[in-house]
Amino acid sequence: MSDKTKPKQITNSVLTGELKSKVDNVWQAFWTGGISNPIDVLGQLTYLLFIKRLDDLQILEERKANRVGKPVERKIFPEGKYDEDHFWDDLRWSRFKQKNPDEMYKIISLKIFPFLQGLGSEGSTFAENMKDAIFTIPTPALLSKVVDLIDEIPMQDRDTKGDIYEYMLSKLSTAGTNGQFRTPRHIIQLMVEMTAPISRDLICDPACGTAGFLVQASEYLRKKEPTLFFDSEKKKHFNSELFHGFDFDATMLRIGSMNMLLHGVEDPNIKYRESLSEEVADIENRYTLILANPPFAGSLDYEATSQKLQRVVRTKKTELLFLALFLQLLRPGGRAAVIVPDGVLFGSSKAHLEIRRSLVEDHFLEGIVSLPSGVFRPYAGVSTAILLFTKTGKGGTENVWFYDLQSDGWSLDDKRNPLLPIEKIGPNPKNDLVEEEHKKNNLPDCLKRWKQRKGPEKERSKTEQSFCVSKEEIKEQGYDLSLNRYKEIVYEKVHNQPPLEILAELRELESEISKGMNELEEMLK
């Protein structure tokens, strides 16, 4: 295999058709090679990208050492030989990609994967997650083809790397178990913009999956606080302390970690944790911001659930247990934006009522965004909402802001095609949307009105797309938080034609038809 020409650096973060085609070719190679499950494909791609990244880091260290005329400080690959005939440097991407397919296959399957499994001792959470990595590419020919294709994809620029991996993630088009599915990127962007993270935050997603919320929060901070990387303490906090994610799926942990790495977060805290089953004494009252879309399709046995959570809300419903968990994890003053199924807003069980009462009476429930039911297609058609609240333990709710989000910029069927040009989709389009465009994308208006919730929004009528409801009224309605409970619909008066006039017109029409048929009959004689 010949060495590849170094691709040109791409600075535009928007993927071109050519780049998408290159990624599609990688996936097609896996499918034709016998690996058709998208999760399995992405898992193997993640391993290979991590192997490539280790070599890229080593190259950077070597260049740094050459510039200053000193030995390499951080050597990822050991010096010397791992057996009589082979050097540790043979495990580097830049070296083994030049080998023939059979030799490359032996190096990766027999040496590199055991090497990766031993990296956990280095302390990196991603390296820790790689301990259980399993190499499943079936043939040397497929491996050689995939390595060639990956090598052709430009991965030097952070924006491009991140967008490429996001595009790979978009191919996870089937729902997982226990209600797991990817949250659309534009919905994540809206939630991040509404909560406005700062560099001092400690952000957590207790059901992080592919780490979409954490990635978007990191991108938001890069844009809003570009100078934070000039401060060594802030930079350290950003790379190793700011972002925390938990999941119980080992594959998701590796994918989520890689997603963060490729978006420029050097050592994200993406760790294995059964969030609802384990006690949280070590992380209770710790985080300042929670962003999450937890799985809410299943239920847990009482015995499998944290006893402390059960004391807060006695239920088997995962969506209610996660809400109780969020309140435990947040420190006083910490805020949250989380997605819940509509049933949480109006369910009549004791557990439903108690969690809603607690949000309204014991904490500060700020807003509810009702999402259209097609937002999560093709994964699921369930109706959902975004809850926005702050943990206080002392109340604080006076008015709750509601927004009826009717269109998110994409068709609400299984195809989910864009309704507007891509630059006009999302919460921050390049230009303000006109009325007809707003009807297709409500996200910018939602964000704008959220920022006005303590001012002009209080005066809006309940017939409008957004409005505020007093705590007293919510209490009177049994803490029902469904938008339709408070939204007022204006009906236009319709003037109907009197029935006798309609009958007269029908008789006249019948007469004309009869006359026409008679004339036709005469013509045919």
Last residue of a domain, one of 157, 184, 217: 157
Mean pLDDT within 286-293: 96
Residue 120 and residue 265 in contact, taking contact as beta carbons nearer than 8 Å:
no
Percent of the chain's residues with pLDDT above 70? 90
**116 or 260, which is more confident?**
260
Question: pLDDT at position 299, please?
Answer: 62
Helix, strand, or coil (residue 334):
strand
Arithmetic mean of pLDDT, 366-389: 89
CATH code of residue 459: 3.40.50.150
One-letter identity of residue 442: N
Q: 515 in a domain, yes or no?
A: no
Structure confidence by residue, pLDDT tens digits, 157-176:
776 777 777 788 777 754 44
Q: What's the pLDDT band for 7 if we cut at 50, 70, 90?
A: very low
Q: What is the pLDDT of residues 413-438, one digit of tens each?
A: 888 889 999 899 999 998 999 999 99
The CATH number assigned to the domain holding 125 equals 1.20.1260
Q: For the whole model, what pTM was predicted?
A: 0.82
- 298: how many CB neighbours lie within 10 A of its CB? 13
Same domain, 427 and 296: yes
**Percent residues over pLDDT 90 in the chain:** 46
For residues 56 and 178, state if they share a domain.
Answer: no
Query: Which residue(s) pair with 272 in the sheet?
Result: 247
Those residues with Cβ within 8 angstroms of residue 261's Cβ, 6 or more apart along the chain or in another chain: 50, 53, 126, 268
99 and 195 in a common domain: no
User: Model confidence at 12, in pLDDT bands (50, 70, 90)?
Assistant: very low
pLDDT at 181: 57
**Distance between CA atoms of residues 333 and 325, nearest Å:** 16
User: Does residue 177 share a domain with residue 153?
Assistant: no
Tell me, yes or no, whether 393 and 295 share the same domain: yes
**Residue-wise DSSP of 261-320:** HHTT-SS-EEEE--TTTS--TTTTT-EEEEEE----S-B--GGGS-HHHHHH---SBHHH
Q: Which of 114-128, 177-191, 214-228 has the highest mean pLDDT?
A: 214-228
In a domain, 375, yes or no: yes
Closest CA to 97 of 153, 150, 32: 150
Q: Are residues 181 and 81 in the same domain?
A: no
- What is the DSSP-derived secondary structure letter of residue 314? -
Higher per-residue pLDDT: 439 or 155: 439
139, part of any domain: yes
Sheet holding 399-404, edge to edge: 269-272, 243-247, 203-205, 287-292, 330-341, 384-390, 364-370, 399-404, 466-470
Average pLDDT, the chain: 85
In a domain, 219, yes or no: no
336 and 467 co-located in one domain: yes
* CA pair distance 193, 257, nearest whole angstrom: 23
Same domain as 425, residue 299: yes
Residue numbers of the domain that contains 42: 17-157
84 found inside a domain: yes
Q: How far is CA 108 from the centre of its chain?
A: 31
Q: Specify the number of domains making up the chain.
A: 2
Does residue 38 sit within a domain?
yes
pLDDT class of 139 with cuts at 50, 70, 90: very high
Residues 152 and 181 in one domain: no
Q: For residue range 230-249, what is the model confidence (pLDDT) as tens digits?
A: 999 999 999 989 999 999 88
Q: Note the pLDDT tens digit of each residue in 313-339.
A: 777 788 898 999 999 999 999 999 999
Q: In this structure, are 38 and 178 located in the same domain?
A: no
82, part of any domain = yes
Report pLDDT digits (tens) over 460-500. 999 999 999 999 999 999 999 999 999 988 766 677 788 88
Given this model, what pLDDT does residue 403 score? Answer: 98
Residues 183 and 60 in one domain: no
Highest mean pLDDT among 63-67, 72-76, 192-196, 410-414: 192-196
In a domain, 332, yes or no: yes
Note whether 367 and 474 are within 8 A (CB).
no
Q: Are 389 and 295 contained in the same domain?
A: yes
Residues 6 or more apart in contact with residue 422 via CB below 8 angstroms = 14
